[in-house]
Amino acid sequence: MKFNTKTIHGGQEHDPAYGSVMPPIYQTSTYAQSTPGGHKGYEYSRTHNPTRNALENAFASIENGKHGLAFGSGLAAIDAVIKLLEPGDEVVSTNDLYGGTYRLFTSIFKKFGIKFHFIGMENASNIECYINEKTKLIWVETPTNPMMNIIDIKATAAIAKKHQLLLAVDNTFATPYLQRPLDLGADIVMHSATKYIGGHSDLVMGALIVKDKDLADRLYFIQNASGAVCGPQDSFLALRGIKTLHIRMQRHCENGRAVAEFLNNHPKIEAVYWPGFESHPNHDIAKAQMNDFGGMVSFTTKGNNYEEAIKIVENLKIFTLAESLGGVESLAGHPASMTHASIPREEREKTGVVDSLIRLSVGIEDEEDLIADLKQAIG
Ligand SMILES: *Cc1c(COP(=O)(O)O)cnc(C)c1O
């Protein structure tokens, strides 16, 4: 089965009871037993739920994995991965990281004795400088948020293999439509399904996908033991989202390209961060590991004026000023005052999050309307 067919049919069976084409929403916490232990494979919904299982099979299918796990949020999925580790273990992680991931690593897991190295991975050989006998995991996010840096997954997987480390890739921005990390040698793929997978800004959910049975069993144990699962209603919505992932992503990419090119030619714009430009420092890697370049575009204005950036995001009419990304509707964010406001200016500026940086999640509206909106807002 090819990708587009997988989004619709991957891992799915028609409901055995009545043949319903969509899996029913099994809104139940528990399942009747005929005798103690005599059940039909389901005992309690933290452990298993048929609607969630249908979704987990779809996750596994679209990422070319064997086992999928669905969680109550992206961060709950990341939390489960780090719980594979022991006190004293070390993690080498991307530095330009989703803020919530950074907070989870530094504010929660650091105090349980896990050490994190946050480093620039645009040059993969840099990673080996931080590996020692305590290192257990490499955590990669690519493209990164909000600077759209690209990390070479295949080269990183080779390093992980050489040192017998796990490689986990946060594939939220790219989705399996654009890149499939398991095919490139990663061990774990993670998603905030809240974003492109759900695709309609109507749920919060996380996912993990792996190939290895042993690793899957350890993660299923953590999922059940820690309990951060998603409910059947949200599982249904995510399944419905996946069925249109390929056509949504195609349009996100087309509109993202149009917006990036418009901004690049605008006299008031200083820099545009989008991996599709040949001038992007890792364009060649993006081209090799991604099928297209996605709908996320960040930019700065000439003069780097904080108030001007605020005015632009306030002026936007079709783009909604909001956190999050990946929905059908276009969103705009101002990282310096929103997602990265808690990071001291000096720190955030080191990774490029300057005062005038604006991040766009380009939706699937008409391209002309999006460009007209940006034109009037930038002035
Ligand atoms: C949103 C996001 C997360 C966290 O996911 P939640 O569903 O909000 O918990 C992790 N990584 C990336 C890249 C994200 O955009």
Residues in Cβ contact with 56 at an 8 Å cutoff, skipping those fewer than 6 apart: 11, 67, 68, 69, 70
Q: Which of ligand 1's atoms lies nearest the C-alpha of 326?
A: 15
- pLDDT in the model for residue 351: 85
* Residue 39 pLDDT level (bands cut at 50, 70, 90): very high
Fold exhibited by the domain 3-242: Aspartate Aminotransferase; domain 2 (3.40.640)
**How much distance in Å is there from the Cα of 18 to the middle of ligand 1?**
36
**How much distance in Å is there from the Cα of 278 to the middle of ligand 1?**
28
- pLDDT in the model for residue 346: 87
Q: Supply the residue whose CA is at minimum distance from atom 9 of ligand 1.
A: 74
Above 80 in pLDDT, residue 206?
yes
Q: Tokens at residue 276, please?
A: 């599709």
Q: Supply the residue whose CA is at minimum distance from atom 6 of ligand 1.
A: 74
251 is catalytic: no
Output the average pLDDT for the chain.
96
Residue to substitute in 96, 172, 191 for testing ligand 1 pocket (most ligand atoms within 8 angstroms of CB): 172
What's the per-residue H, E or C state across 1-70? CCHHHHHHHCCCCCCCCCCCCCCCCCCCCECCCCCCCCCCCCCECCCCCHHHHHHHHHHHHHCCCCEEEE
Above 80 in pLDDT, residue 262?
yes
**Measured between alpha carbons, how far is 180 from 186 in angstroms, rounded to an integer?**
9
Per residue in 49-108, pLDDT (tens digit) is 999 999 999 999 999 999 999 999 999 999 999 999 999 999 999 988 888 999 999 999
Is the distance from CB of 64 to CB of 182 less than 8 angstroms?
yes
Q: Which of ligand 1's atoms lies nearest the C-alpha of 75?
A: 9
Is the distance from CB of 204 to CB of 57 less than 8 angstroms?
no
Above 90 in pLDDT, residue 341?
no
Above 80 in pLDDT, residue 127?
yes
Looking at the chain, the domain(s) classified CATH 3.90.1150.10 span: 246-378
Residue to substitute in 71, 73, 75, 229 for testing ligand 1 pocket (most ligand atoms within 8 angstroms of CB): 75
Residue with tokens 């004795």: 113
Q: Which of ligand 1's atoms lies nearest the C-alpha of 141?
A: 13
- pLDDT in the model for residue 344: 77
CATH of domain 246-378: 3.90.1150.10
Per DSSP, helices labelled H in the chain are 3-9, 50-62, 74-82, 99-103, 153-162, 175-178, 213-226, 232-242, 245-264, 283-289, 306-315, 345-350, 367-378
Nearest alpha-carbon partner for 198 in 160, 166, 167, 172: 172
Above 90 in pLDDT, residue 350?
no
187-198 in b/e form (b: 16+ CB < 10 A) is bbbbbbbbbbbb
H/E stretch holding 270? strand 269-273
* Residue 135 pLDDT level (bands cut at 50, 70, 90): very high
pTM above 0.95, yes or no: yes
195 is catalytic: yes
* Residue 128 pLDDT level (bands cut at 50, 70, 90): very high
- pLDDT in the model for residue 348: 85
**How much distance in Å is there from the Cα of 101 to the middle of ligand 1?**
8
Q: Supply the residue whose CA is at minimum distance from atom 2 of ligand 1.
A: 192
* Residue 7 pLDDT level (bands cut at 50, 70, 90): very high
Looking at the chain, the domain(s) classified CATH 3.40.640.10 span: 3-242
Nearest alpha-carbon partner for 355 in 312, 294, 296: 312
Per residue in 162-182, pLDDT (tens digit) is 999 999 999 999 999 999 999
Above 80 in pLDDT, residue 342?
no
- pLDDT in the model for residue 96: 85
* Percentage of the residues of the chain whose pLDDT score is greater than 90: 92
Tell me whether strands 269-273 and 296-301 are parallel, antiparallel or unpaired: antiparallel
**How much distance in Å is there from the Cα of 16 to the middle of ligand 1?**
34
Q: Which of ligand 1's atoms lies nearest the C-alpha of 194?
A: 7
Above 90 in pLDDT, residue 343?
no
Residue to substitute in 93, 192, 205, 360 for testing ligand 1 pocket (most ligand atoms within 8 angstroms of CB): 192
- pLDDT in the model for residue 378: 97
- pLDDT in the model for residue 145: 85
Above 90 in pLDDT, residue 11?
yes
Catalytic residue among 31, 46, 218, 251: 46
* Residue 233 pLDDT level (bands cut at 50, 70, 90): very high
Residues enclosing ligand 1, CB less than 6 A?
73-75, 98, 100-101, 141, 145, 170, 172-173, 192, 194-195, 204, 206
Is the distance from CB of 98 to CB of 145 less than 8 angstroms?
yes
Per residue in 264-305, pLDDT (tens digit) is 999 999 999 999 999 999 999 999 999 999 999 999 999 999
Per residue in 240-250, pLDDT (tens digit) is 999 999 999 99
